[in-house]
Amino acid sequence: MTSKISIESLKSLEPISSLSNGRLSELVELCFVESVGKGLDPFRMRGLSGQAVYLLSGELRLRYPDGATRNIKAGSPESRFPISRLIADATATAVSDLELLRIDDDLLDIMVTWDQLAGTDVDAGAEAAVQEPDSSLANWSILSGMFSVSNLKYGAFAQLPSANIEELLKCFKRIEARAGDVIIREGAEGDFYYVLESGKCRVERMIGGVSMLLAELKGGDAFGEEALVSEAKRNATVTMKSDGVLLRLAKNDFEALLKEPLLHRISMEDARQKIVNGAQWLDVRYPSEYQYDKLPGAMNIPLAEIRNAFGVLDTDREYILYCQSERRSAAAAFLLAQRGYRSYVLEGGLWLNGRRS
């Protein structure tokens, strides 16, 4: 039997209490509350591995190999911390009916890491923030979209080295935009990477002299990465459909802090081994190129259509992307990595590796 925990209850637990109300509201939806009957071992069926487990109600007895025992009651100072810190090699028995709270340990660690680094920025830049409010992401914890709990755990930011986080918080700039503002113009040089924090955008491309609508973007969507990753000109125009707020990252910061950590290149030899072990080739060229010299077993999803594959491709499978060089495959791999897919770029593309699998 399960129930839902309240934000107020989360505030009594450590280190969860340090999180903002906005983050706690998201965390509530990711918590699992478990009921355990008196006399049972609460961890016999569901262990502690990979989880932070807290005692919410009732009393728990721990018995150690030397015969010593220890009782923990809900509401006591020690119950504010995960039981795993106390249990060691002890066996556990419910002295009364219990309620346990389970949270993914890795998720909690990611949230606390980002929160502490953001807090450091806030303290260090308090004076500057008064003069230039919302100029950076020092207040990241109140944001949604790209900085949602889900993305911190499974999206682009989950894969970043922790050393990059603080720099990202400093380098992203928050700018307001009005309906009708052109953010990116087709044919221009790539200069920034954008996350749409709020509002909506239209993505359009000139095809046969006519402007065609390709997509509409909403809060949390990112754009502008393709030109930066592939070192090509902008391939579409992005215009604000409504008033909104954008998070902007300069090209140099994007390459150093996001591009390289998210792109994983792989040799043909290692790629072949992954294919044998169940990975999938993804050819991101045009269908005409794919038909001419595709690798055996490869799927064809052109770079321009890779966003349509979000939610369709298997998040549990590895994908190895290729094109003629690395340009298109790198751009596509970055787009997939942002959504939590395990993607690799065939180093050197087909030009370096020939047309053999």
Which CATH number does the domain housing residue 273 bear? Answer: 3.40.250.10
The reply to whether 182 and 137 lie within a common domain is: yes
> Rounded to an integer, what distance in angstroms lies between the CA atom of residue 214 and that of residue 204?
5
Q: The domain spanning residue 63 has which CATH number?
A: 2.60.120.10
Residue 136 lies in a domain: yes
The reply to whether 145 and 227 lie within a common domain is: yes
Tokens of 293: 């010299």
pLDDT 10s digits, 95-153: 999 999 999 887 887 777 666 655 544 334 333 333 343 444 445 544 555 566 666 66
Residue ending a domain, among 258, 285, 305, is: 258
The reply to whether 281 and 251 lie within a common domain is: no
Residue 110 lies in a domain: no
Separation in Å, CA 154 to CA 26, 32, 316: 14, 18, 12
- Which pLDDT belongs to residue 120? 46
Q: Could you give the 3-state DSSP secondary structure of residue 192? A: strand
pLDDT 10s digits, 284-303: 998 988 988 899 999 999 98
The side-by-side arrangement of strands in the sheet containing 201-207 is 182-184, 237-240, 201-207, 210-217
Tokens of 339: 């959504």
Residue 111 lies in a domain: no
The reply to whether 297 and 230 lie within a common domain is: no
Residue 112 lies in a domain: no
The reply to whether 242 and 334 lie within a common domain is: no
pLDDT 10s digits, 52-86: 899 999 999 999 888 899 999 999 998 998 887 77
What is the tally of structural domains in the chain?
3
Tell me whether residue 323 is one of the annotated catalytic residues.
yes
> Rounded to an integer, what distance in angstroms lies between the CA atom of residue 114 and that of residue 3?
28
The reply to whether 254 and 268 lie within a common domain is: no
Contact 147, 157 (CB under 8 A): yes
**Phi and psi at residue 291, to the nearest 5°:** -65, -30
Q: 303: closest CA among 237, 233, 230?
A: 230
The reply to whether 252 and 140 lie within a common domain is: yes
Contact 228, 193 (CB under 8 A): yes
Task: Report the 10 Å Cβ neighbour count for 111.
Answer: 26
The reply to whether 54 and 133 lie within a common domain is: no
Q: Average the pLDDT over each of 102-106, 202-206, 261-265 and give the range with the smallest value.
A: 261-265
The reply to whether 199 and 90 lie within a common domain is: no
The reply to whether 234 and 133 lie within a common domain is: yes
Residue 268 lies in a domain: yes
**pTM of the predicted model as reported, rounded to 2 decimal places:** 0.57
**Residue range of the domain that includes 339:** 263-353
Residue ending a domain, among 189, 224, 258, is: 258
Residue 285 lies in a domain: yes
Residue ending a domain, among 209, 239, 258, is: 258
The reply to whether 296 and 330 lie within a common domain is: yes
Task: Report the 10 Å Cβ neighbour count for 49.
Answer: 8
DSSP-assigned letter for residue 295: P
- Which pLDDT belongs to residue 118? 58
- Which pLDDT belongs to residue 354? 67
Residue 85 lies in a domain: yes
The reply to whether 275 and 194 lie within a common domain is: no
pLDDT at 356 over 60: no
Q: 224: closest CA among 211, 236, 242, 241?
A: 236
Q: 92: closest CA among 40, 38, 33, 36?
A: 40
Residue 218 lies in a domain: yes
pLDDT greater at residue 253 or residue 274: 274
Tokens 């990116």 belong to residue? 184
